Amino acid sequence: MSFVEYGDTIKDGDTAIVFLGHESMFPVKVQHGSVTQTKYGVIRHSTDLIGKKYGSKVTCSKGGWVFILHPTPELWTMNLPHRTQILYSTDISIITMMLELKPGSIVCESGTGSGSLSHALIRTVAPTGHLYTVEFHQQRAEKAREEFREHRVEHLVTVTNQDVCKNGFGVSNIADAVFLDIPSPWEAIGHAKSALKAEGGRICSFSPCIEQVQRTCLAMEESGFTEINTLEILLRVYNVRTVSLQIPDLGKAAEDNSSPGFDSSSPSHQGSSCANLQQGTVQFKSGVPLREVVGHTGYLTFATKS
């Protein structure tokens, strides 16, 4: 099992996703002799998981069943243990596109946090690229290294425990892109410029407050970055429902019936007569937005090293 390479069979030591429903799933580390409790009963790793194919339907001890899914960065984002606030797939998708990432790209990231974006970046730059990620907090950095080893992507990522604002990323003139998710990104712009390749590298800074964005943009401009722009991604979810609406009575058929020379027995008038009698409702599918919509998460500021 690897987050960048698909494996058909569940093996001892794998990280798998137990899928109970679209709103209920969780990760589990598969270990010989271990058991996992669910609301449908017990899952025994030795007999129910190891050796089975990913995507299998597993029956629990109470008779209910779950699916066992192969992990992906998207599923990991939805299920990872939160050590910090994380980025979700909506922002991650625009970040990977706007930074122009591809297999073979070299990326610098700070801070690592819970590793949500890190896993997506690793999958994007694999198999020949590399991620250099910097985390200020020592315990979070150690936990990130442990997860990367368990997910078998440690050869694609280097985790460094240091202050990026003071010590930088530990590399110079090799990065195709830099991503900043720190409280004071303007203090790291100079180090980001040093880490980027000589020309054309891209940078992205994520900040929740517009005051942070203003100071970051000024620092980017002073450091010679061009094409500076800030955007915000807002996700609006719709529920598909069956809606009933009353058929409107426009009165046209009634006027035709009362007009001189109207013959209800005439075939030409039978259709309008039937339409007039069909008073009621009609049902159709419609998209209805949620009453409560998740609003602002953060601003994404992009720029290019000229």
Sequence ranges of the binding site for S-adenosyl-L-methionine: 114-117, 135, 181
Cβ-based neighbour number of residue 117 at 10 Å: 26
- Measured CA to CA, the distance from residue 135 to residue 159 in angstroms comes to 7
Residue-level pLDDT at 258: 53
Q: Tell me the pLDDT tens digit for each residue of 56-87.
A: 999 999 989 999 999 999 999 999 999 999 99
Rounded Cα gap, residues 124 and 144, in angstroms: 18
Confidence at 257, pLDDT banded by 50, 70, 90: low
pTM for the full predicted model: 0.83
Query: Which parts are annotated binding residues?
Result: 114-117, 135, 181
CATH 3.10.330.20 fits 9-71, yes or no: yes
pLDDT tens by residue, 131-189: 999 999 999 999 999 999 999 999 999 999 999 999 999 999 999 999 999 999 999 99
* Predicted pLDDT of residue 276: 45
What are the residue ranges spanned by the domains of the chain? 9-71, 75-234+295-305
The reply to whether omega before 111 is within 30° of 0 (cis) is: yes
CATH 3.20.20.70 is right for the domain spanning 75-234+295-305: no
pLDDT for the residue numbered 253: 56
